[in-house]
């Protein structure tokens, strides 16, 4: 700034007493805190909150179970959530019910709610485990609890200053920066004064003695001997205010709903998530900026978000190590050389705890899927129709959550996939715009699509049915414009002709044609595209990052394994626009097919169609994966016993992980703070 004084004057600028050390932060950096300026605010405060053994707690609260009663949530013969008292007995998600009962005879094992074939509402059925063929898992009760928890979190934050990202069924990221900024100015009026010489690049005064006192007060629960409290700067103060807010939120969740949760508070998403997983249950970990390197260097980099899969593998092979500390001496040039430009830089920053990614207030769901695999297969249109009714009800209840009733968002297309032996058929059609979507409409559309498939050729027995809606668009709230009532082009044609069918020239299936802006194939995107694509589904299903690993590795080998159940979930896609063009509708007149799916031999005319078909397989694999991760973890565990690090979900779910967690030194790391309550 031209008006600012020469540098040498700054040491004696008026905001601080002469000779007093200045903060390392500037007035500008402080004000950036108020504007959620992710990349340029070193003071920002991000928290990650994750519910303890979520489904298990939900069942304990529903059933009024005493807190010390071991309880697990059962899905068929497997366990999908285990409370902490039960974990004391060595029970984990790897156990089946019989094994778990042996370890702890007094264990309560509550089966998840299910939809029973033909029913119109899910319920808790005592005989569900014995009737896998006629029941389908419903996670609705947990979604409902999840929504209540979200509401409590939001109610604890000032309406204008909240930025909350739901990152899974039981976890959120919070950007507390603006809220913390307000509190900072209230508590430390010296910060509210204009900068010396009106120069925002001036350094702030150092936190006062009062700040130190405040820290001691605020951290009564802290294990002080392991905490750096000397010489604090504003980043420490900011993060400790953040930790105070998080403690209040956790207390409110506990008081109002009865749930305990773990939390991490740091200056970015990646660190806050590592923080919440660090000490469980019912604890929060503060990772102060000056403790980041120490905190991270003990980690395997494969434990870091986005480094669990293919990329992590490539790095560990290239540099013959999995330890963060071994990678730290590697120069950015070398990382760029070995991993590619963007990736090299990203890895260089990540292992140093640098993550500028933003907390996204709203994660848009791009499609929803409800499916069931049949063992034994089903044989009649009537049987299939009963399941379609359930799928329609299931999807509709989630659409309501997405705000279809208020016309906030609505899907434009509906797809039905049908598997008969090795052959999969699919049909898709538009969802009529201009009138309210209801369960009945979805059901009628689905039945119509099934009718189309059934007419084609031999379709029974059917081993799998899956219904999905997609092509979400923002609705018009308030008065609907006339456009909303008019059907355009293909949509109108398709509706006139009944549900649109996509057929390959050879009569084989063709999958929904979804035009998706292709992601950059090069650079770091190639490692993330699938993972990002998967996250919506995984989030809603409550998978952690590790559970996605298998898919992001591209193994996708679950199709051949026994399929018993798929729960429904949302598939979030980047930039997905669904368009059904006339050309595509008439594809059977264009026998040229340049692209073929290596998994099911379906043929496609363009790379985009081929890609969207792969997306469909991918979404489906996720659902199969869910089954592998939950109901059949036992089988997986036995097969993979020694290689738990590559087992999906092993990062947070296996007994190995649990015992590792238990086995961690009790000592709080230098610079880390642990707060407990309740
Ligand atoms: N979940 C699942 N299958 C997985 C992973 C998670 O069904 N492979 C469900 C669990 O039932 C769980 C919820 O998603 O309750 C949240 O998962 P996560 O946070 O990973 O585990 P928790 O059970 O909540 O246990 P923790 O206390 O370790 O967070
Ligand atoms: Ca959890
Ligand atoms: Ca979680």
- pLDDT attached to residue 581: 26
**Residue at 128 is within a domain:** yes
The length of the chain is 678
Q: Write the DSSP symbol of residue 330.
A: S
Q: pLDDT digit string (tens) for 577-602?
A: 222 222 222 222 222 335 566 666 66
- Residue 561 pLDDT > 70: no
Same-domain status, 100 and 125: yes
Q: Which helix or strand (DSSP H or E) is residue 541 part of?
A: helix 525-541
Taking the C-alpha atoms of residue 446 and residue 427, their distance in angstroms, rounded to an integer, is 9
**Residue at 81 is within a domain:** yes
Taking the C-alpha atoms of residue 364 and residue 409, their distance in angstroms, rounded to an integer, is 10
Q: pLDDT digit string (tens) for 406-445?
A: 777 889 999 999 999 888 999 999 999 888 899 999 999 9
- Residue 322 pLDDT > 80: yes
Dihedral sign from CA coordinates of 410, 411, 412, 414: negative
Taking the C-alpha atoms of residue 84 and residue 60, their distance in angstroms, rounded to an integer, is 12
Same-domain status, 549 and 415: yes
Same-domain status, 401 and 455: yes
Query: What are the φ/ψ torsions at residue 500 (nearest 5 degrees)?
Result: -70, 135
Same-domain status, 424 and 380: yes
Give the mutation target among 92, 145, 166, 170 for probing the ligand 1 site: most ligand atoms within 8 A of CB: 170
**Residue at 93 is within a domain:** yes
What is the average per-residue pLDDT within 525-529? 42
Residue 372: CATH number of its domain:
3.30.1490.100
Query: What are the φ/ψ torsions at residue 265 (nearest 5 degrees)?
Result: -125, 125
Q: pLDDT digit string (tens) for 238-262?
A: 998 999 999 999 999 999 999 999 9
**CA of 544, closest atom in ligand 1:** 20
Give the mutation target among 48, 50, 52, 54 for probing the ligand 1 site: most ligand atoms within 8 A of CB: 54
Among the ranges given (2-6, 85-89, 198-202, 313-317), the one the predictor scored with the smallest mean pLDDT: 2-6
E strand intervals along 283-391: 283-287, 367-378
E strand intervals along 351-453: 367-378, 409-410, 413-420, 423-430
Taking the C-alpha atoms of residue 335 and residue 343, their distance in angstroms, rounded to an integer, is 8
Same-domain status, 314 and 440: no
Question: How many Å lie between the centroid of ligand 1 and the Cα of residue 542?
Answer: 6
**Among protein residues, the one whose CA lies closest to atom 22 of ligand 1:** 53
Residue 75: CATH number of its domain:
3.40.1170.60
3-state SS of 26-90? EHHHHHHHHHCCCCCCCCCCEEEEEECCHHHHHHHHHHCCCCCCCEEEEECCEEEEECHHHHCCC
Pocket (CB within 6 angstroms of ligand 1): 50-55, 73, 80-81, 169-170, 280-281, 542-544, 547, 629-630, 649, 652-653
Residue 343: CATH number of its domain:
1.10.150.20
The CA-CA-CA angle for residues 197, 202, 204, to 5°, reads 115
- pLDDT attached to residue 248: 95
Q: For the full predicted model, state whether its pTM sits above 0.75.
A: no
**Residue at 418 is within a domain:** yes
Question: How many Å lie between the centroid of ligand 2 and the Cα of residue 536?
Answer: 16
Q: pLDDT digit string (tens) for 7-26?
A: 222 333 344 444 567 899 99
What ranges in 457-513 are assigned the alpha helix state H?
489-496
Which residues lie closer than 8 Å to 488 by C-beta, 6 or more apart? none
Same-domain status, 372 and 453: yes
Q: Which of 494-503, 583-592, 622-631 has the highest mean pLDDT?
A: 622-631
pLDDT band at 32 (very low <50, low <70, confident <90, very high): very high
Q: Which residue has the higher pLDDT, 21 or 87?
A: 87
- Residue 271 pLDDT > 70: yes
Question: How many Å lie between the centroid of ligand 2 and the Cα of residue 653?
Answer: 10
- pLDDT attached to residue 334: 95
**Among protein residues, the one whose CA lies closest to atom 23 of ligand 1:** 53
- pLDDT attached to residue 215: 43
Q: Which domain holds residue 445?
A: 367-477+530-586
Q: Which residue has the higher pLDDT, 578 or 669?
A: 669
Same-domain status, 335 and 465: no
- pLDDT attached to residue 506: 31
Same-domain status, 340 and 391: no
3-state SS of 289-303? HHHHHHHHHCCEHHH
**Among protein residues, the one whose CA lies closest to atom 4 of ligand 1:** 543
**Residue at 116 is within a domain:** yes
Taking the C-alpha atoms of residue 496 and residue 490, their distance in angstroms, rounded to an integer, is 10
Same-domain status, 379 and 356: no
Question: How many Å lie between the centroid of ligand 3 and the Cα of residue 48?
Answer: 10
**Residue at 106 is within a domain:** yes
Same-domain status, 396 and 437: yes
- Residue 157 pLDDT > 90: yes
Question: How many Å lie between the centroid of ligand 1 and the Cα of residue 178?
Answer: 31
- pLDDT attached to residue 303: 87
Give the mutation target among 57, 62, 81 for probing the ligand 1 site: most ligand atoms within 8 A of CB: 81
Same-domain status, 449 and 535: yes
Question: How many Å lie between the centroid of ligand 2 and the Cα of residue 290?
Answer: 27
Same-domain status, 303 and 429: no
- pLDDT attached to residue 469: 94
> Which residue is it, tokens 């807190």?
67
Instruction: Report the percentage of the chain scoring pLDDT > 70.
Output: 63
- pLDDT attached to residue 120: 82
Question: How many Å lie between the centroid of ligand 2 and the Cα of residue 634?
Answer: 21
Total domains in the fold of the chain = 3
- pLDDT attached to residue 475: 65
Q: pLDDT digit string (tens) for 102-156?
A: 999 999 999 999 999 888 889 999 999 999 999 999 998 999 999 999 999 999 9
- pLDDT attached to residue 208: 76
- pLDDT attached to residue 672: 54
- pLDDT attached to residue 458: 87
Query: What are the φ/ψ torsions at residue 272 (nearest 5 degrees)?
Result: -65, -35
**CA of 280, closest atom in ligand 1:** 27
C-alpha neighbours within 13 Å on the C-beta side of residue 56: 29
Give the mutation target among 48, 49, 52, 53 for probing the ligand 1 site: most ligand atoms within 8 A of CB: 53
**Residue at 14 is within a domain:** no
**Among protein residues, the one whose CA lies closest to atom 24 of ligand 1:** 53
What is the average per-residue pLDDT within 167-180? 94
Question: How many Å lie between the centroid of ligand 2 and the Cα of residue 92?
Answer: 14
- pLDDT attached to residue 35: 85
Taking the C-alpha atoms of residue 655 and residue 619, their distance in angstroms, rounded to an integer, is 28
């Amino acid at each position: 700034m031209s008006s600012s004084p020469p540098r040498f004057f700054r040491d004696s600028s008026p905001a601080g007493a002469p000779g007093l050390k200045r903060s390392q932060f500037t007035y500008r950096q402080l004000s950036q805190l108020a504007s959620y300026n992710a990349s340029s605010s070193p003071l920002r405060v991000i928290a990650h909150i994750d519910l303890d053994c979520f489904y298990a707690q939900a069942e304990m609260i529903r059933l009024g179970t005493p807190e010390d009663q071991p309880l697990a949530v059962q899905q068929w013969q497997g366990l999908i959530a285990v409370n902490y008292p039960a974990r004391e007995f060595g029970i984990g998600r790897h156990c089946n019910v019989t094994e778990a009962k042996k370890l702890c005879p007094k264990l309560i094992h509550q089966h998840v709610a299910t939809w029973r074939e033909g029913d119109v509402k899910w319920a808790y059925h005592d005989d569900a485990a014995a009737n896998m063929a006629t029941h389908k898992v419903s996670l609705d009760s947990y979604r409902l609890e999840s929504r209540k928890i979200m509401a409590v979190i939001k109610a604890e934050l000032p309406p204008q200053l909240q930025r909350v990202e739901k990152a899974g069924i039981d976890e959120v990221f919070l950007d507390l920066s603006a809220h913390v900024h307000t509190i900072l100015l209230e508590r430390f009026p010296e910060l509210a004064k204009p900068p010396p010489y009106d120069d925002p690049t001036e350094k702030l005064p150092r936190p006062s003695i009062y700040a130190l006192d405040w820290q001691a007060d605020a951290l009564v629960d802290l294990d002080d001997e392991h905490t750096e409290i000397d010489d604090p700067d504003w980043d420490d103060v900011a993060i400790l205010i953040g930790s105070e807010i998080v403690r209040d939120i956790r207390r409110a969740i506990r008081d109002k709903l009865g749930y305990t949760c773990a939390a991490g508070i740091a200056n970015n998403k990646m660190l806050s998530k590592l923080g919440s997983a660090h000490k469980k249950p019912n604890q929060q970990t503060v990772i102060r900026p000056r403790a980041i390197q120490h905190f991270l260097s003990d980690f395997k980099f494969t434990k870091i978000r986005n480094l669990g899969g293919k990329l992590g593998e490539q790095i560990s092979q290239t540099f013959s190590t999995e330890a963060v500390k071994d990678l730290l001496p590697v120069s950015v040039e070398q990382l760029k050389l070995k991993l590619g430009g963007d990736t090299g830089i990203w890895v260089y920053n990540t292992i140093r705890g640098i993550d500028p990614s933003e907390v996204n207030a709203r994660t848009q769901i791009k499609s929803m899927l409800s499916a069931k695999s049949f063992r034994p297969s089903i044989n009649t249109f009537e049987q299939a129709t009963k399941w379609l009714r359930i799928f329609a009800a299931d999807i509709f209840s989630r659409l309501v959550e997405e705000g279809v009733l208020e016309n906030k968002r609505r899907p434009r297309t509906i797809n039905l996939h049908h598997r008969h032996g090795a052959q999969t058929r699919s049909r898709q059609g538009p969802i009529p715009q201009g009138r309210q979507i209801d369960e009945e409409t979805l059901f009628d559309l689905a039945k119509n699509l099934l009718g189309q498939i059934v007419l084609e050729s031999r379709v029974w027995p059917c081993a799998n049915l899956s219904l999905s809606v997609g092509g979400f668009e923002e609705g018009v709230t308030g008065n609907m414009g006339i456009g909303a009532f008019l059907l355009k082009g293909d949509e109108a044609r398709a509706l006139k002709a009944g549900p649109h069918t996509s057929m390959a020239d050879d009569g084989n299936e063709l999958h929904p044609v979804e035009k998706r802006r292709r992601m950059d194939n090069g650079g770091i995107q190639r490692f993330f595209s699938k993972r990002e694509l998967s996250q919506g589904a995984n989030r809603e299903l409550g998978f952690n990052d590790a559970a996605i690993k298998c898919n992001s590795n591209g193994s996708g080998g679950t199709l051949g394994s026994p399929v018993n159940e798929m729960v429904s979930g949302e598939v979030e896609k980047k930039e997905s626009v669904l368009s059904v063009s006339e050309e595509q509708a008439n594809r059977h007149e264009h026998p040229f097919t340049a692209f073929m799916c290596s998994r099911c031999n379906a043929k496609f005319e363009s790379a985009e169609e081929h890609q969207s078909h792969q997306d469909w397989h991918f979404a489906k694999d996720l659902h199969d994966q869910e089954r592998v991760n939950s109901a059949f973890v036992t089988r997986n565990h036995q097969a993979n016993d020694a290689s738990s690090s590559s087992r999906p979900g092993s990062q947070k779910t296996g007994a190995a992980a649990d015992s590792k967690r238990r086995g961690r030194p009790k000592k709080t790391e230098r610079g880390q703070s642990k707060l407990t309550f309740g």
